[in-house]
Amino acid sequence: MDYNLIKIFLLLISNFATSYVSSNQEVQFLEQFGYLEVVSQSNALALRSPSAIQQAIEEMQRVARLPVTGQMDQPTQALLSKQRCGLKDTHLLRSKSTRKRHLRHIHRRRQTNAGQPILKWDKLNITYRIDSVARTIPHKGALRRVIHDAVHLWNGASGLRIEETADPHADILLSFETGQHGDMYPFDGPGRILAHAFYPMDGQGGDIHFDDEEDWKLHEDLQGKEVSLGSVAAHEIGHRQVSGPTTTTAPTNTHAPPMPGPTFQESAGSVPSPCDTEVDAVTTVRQEIFMFRGNWFWRFDLEGYLMEPPSPVDVFWGHDLPTPVDGAFELNDRVYFFVADKIYKYWGRRRIGVKTLAEVGLPAHLKSIRLAYKWVYGNEVRYYIWAEDDYWRIDTAHFKAEVDYPEKLLIIGKENYLGLKPK
């Protein structure tokens, strides 16, 4: 036997396997966020076929809107250290086979955990207690206020009433922890995983843990250098404490700034009929689809499934955002809403700027736009605004219309190529 051929063959196999992933740490990342089914053995890499790893990487690249190479290239490796939501990306997965694998895994876990209580509160009055303060927010009074405001966002949204108590046996205990802290879900230090919350049940059910090694701040940090406790707490309390039953007993994790849901204490008029298919604007924000009509909006996942009932725009973003919304897009984690001749810039739920259409280089006579959207083709990302029969491309570095614009929309007969009738 030619041992040189064997060496070459083994070398090729080694290169083939490592072209997709180079370490157990990267495979564990794919497991942690739902792209690979979790295995119990310590050497996860040895148990994976190169094709399974490649498929998982491709799925992650699709979700992250990266070029789909199936390899742990430089842009993909950058995801591993990026601060992000610790919740599995299952609701974002585009591959049906990947979803099915995840659901089979969940089904097996539910069979294994048979006899545990259903993950839903069995009462309407829920109490919470702050057990410890943050390293970077030592003043408990300020911290209590932020948590109170986060809770207030959700009180009444599902019929629950959540209130603070001094009782050490409160339903929800909030605490700041580091590393291994006794619940089998250790924190990873600064960055990435920021907090996790347990679903309603006995024991740790409902509890929320924050990573105390993060640089917590009371409110949004527009430079992104610190972590907003208010946003993270609102996300955890709302999306996990108030929501209906879920499928696993593991905690969920979060990132900042999320988009917390609204309360329904204010009236915004009647909900538009679902039979009326006309909408004012559609955009994507943090991997979710937002559809606007009048003073209402709907949230869908990327496969088009409705995530929650329609909500009032002014309850979600505040009365500073007028309606109806003519167009919107997300750019650099900011959301730009086009309403009449104004552009409203938001960071999370906070308005941080207003400009007129004229200030970004559109004609002064324009009273509104027809469409605003992000266009993605391969590695190219462009932002466009349509108004009347013209369109403009936005210089994202300065948020101005580029100098070679406007261009005319392509008119075919009485309608343009998207079927919009010219004005």
Confidence band for 160, pLDDT divided at 50, 70 and 90: confident
If one compares 416 and 322, the residue with the highest pLDDT of the two is 322
User: What amino acid is encoded at 224 in this protein?
Assistant: G
Reply yes or no on whether the pLDDT at 94 is more than 60.
no
The residue that leads in pLDDT, 84 or 354, is 354
Predicted confidence band of residue 340 (pLDDT cuts 50, 70, 90): very high
Pick 60 or 20 by higher pLDDT. Answer: 60
Domain ranges of the chain: 3-112, 125-253, 281-416
What span, in angstroms and rounded, lies between the C-alpha atoms of 395 and 404? 11
* Least confident range of 65-79, 109-123, 143-157, 275-289: 109-123
Query: Given pLDDT bands bounded at 50, 70 and 90, which one contains residue 113?
Result: very low
Burial class of 388 by CB neighbour count within 10 A (0 to 12, 13 to 18, 19+): middle
**Residues 6-57 pLDDT 10s:** 454 444 444 444 444 456 777 778 877 777 776 554 444 445 567 777 888 8
Q: Which sequence positions are flagged as catalytic?
A: 236
Q: How many Å apart are CA 46 and CA 24, to the nearest integer? A: 9
d(CA 286, CA 301): 10
Among the residue ranges 91-100, 147-156, 164-173, 339-348, the one predicted with the least confidence is: 91-100
* pTM of the predicted model over 0.85: no
Residue 238 has a pLDDT of 66
Residue 359 has pLDDT above 90, yes or no: yes
- What's the pLDDT at 244? 39
- The string of DSSP codes covering 139-181 is -HHHHHHHHHHHHHTTTTSSS-EEEE---TT-SEEEEEE-SS-
Question: Binning pLDDT at 50, 70 and 90, where does residue 64 land?
Answer: confident
152 is in an annotated binding site: no
Amino acid 116: pLDDT: 45
- 338, pLDDT greater than 90: yes
Please provide the CATH number assigned to the domain covering 125-253.
3.40.390.10
How far apart, in Å, do the first and last CA atoms of the chain sit? Answer: 79
Q: Is residue 56 within a helix (H) or strand (E), and if so which, with residue range?
A: helix 50-63
Does 304 have pLDDT greater than 80? no
Distance CA 177, CA 134 (A): 9
Q: Is 326 annotated as a binding residue?
A: yes
Sheet of strand 327-331, all strands in order from the earlier edge strand to the far edge: 327-331, 334-339, 342-347, 350-356
Q: 91 or 357: which carries more pLDDT confidence?
A: 357
Predicted pLDDT of residue 364? 92
* Band (100; pLDDT cuts 50, 70, 90): very low
- Asked if residue 319 belongs to a known ligand binding site, the reply is no
Task: Find out whether 292 and 328 touch, Cβ atoms under 8 Å.
Answer: yes
Task: Confirm whether residue 419 is marked as ligand binding.
Answer: no
- The CATH fold assigned to 281-416 is Hemopexin (2.110.10)
- Mean pLDDT for the stretch of residues 235-254: 49
Cα 289 from Cα 298, distance rounded (Å): 8
For the stretch 190-239, pLDDT in tens is 877 788 887 776 555 678 888 888 888 876 554 455 677 887 887 777 65
215 is in an annotated binding site: no
Please check if 401 is assigned to a binding site: no
Percent of the chain with pLDDT over 70: 64
- In this prediction, residue 242 has a pLDDT band, given cuts at 50, 70 and 90, of low
Residue 233 annotated as binding? Answer: no
What is the chain's mean pLDDT, rounded?
72
Cα separations (Å) of 121 from 128, 206, 242? 13, 9, 9
Q: Is 235 among the annotated ligand-binding positions?
A: yes
Contact between 218 and 141 under an 8 Å Cβ cutoff? The reply is no
pLDDT at res. 264: 32
CB 104 within 8 A of CB 54: no
Q: What is the pLDDT of residue 14?
A: 44
pLDDT score of 226: 62
Amino acid at 145: R
- 254 vs 288: which has the higher pLDDT: 288
Q: What is the pLDDT of residues 202-214, one digit of tens each?
A: 555 678 888 888 8
Q: Which tokens go with 400?
A: 């101005």
The span from the CA of 400 to the CA of 143, in Å, is: 40
Q: Is the pLDDT of residue 102 over 60?
A: no
**Cα angle value 243/247/252 (rounded, 5°):** 65
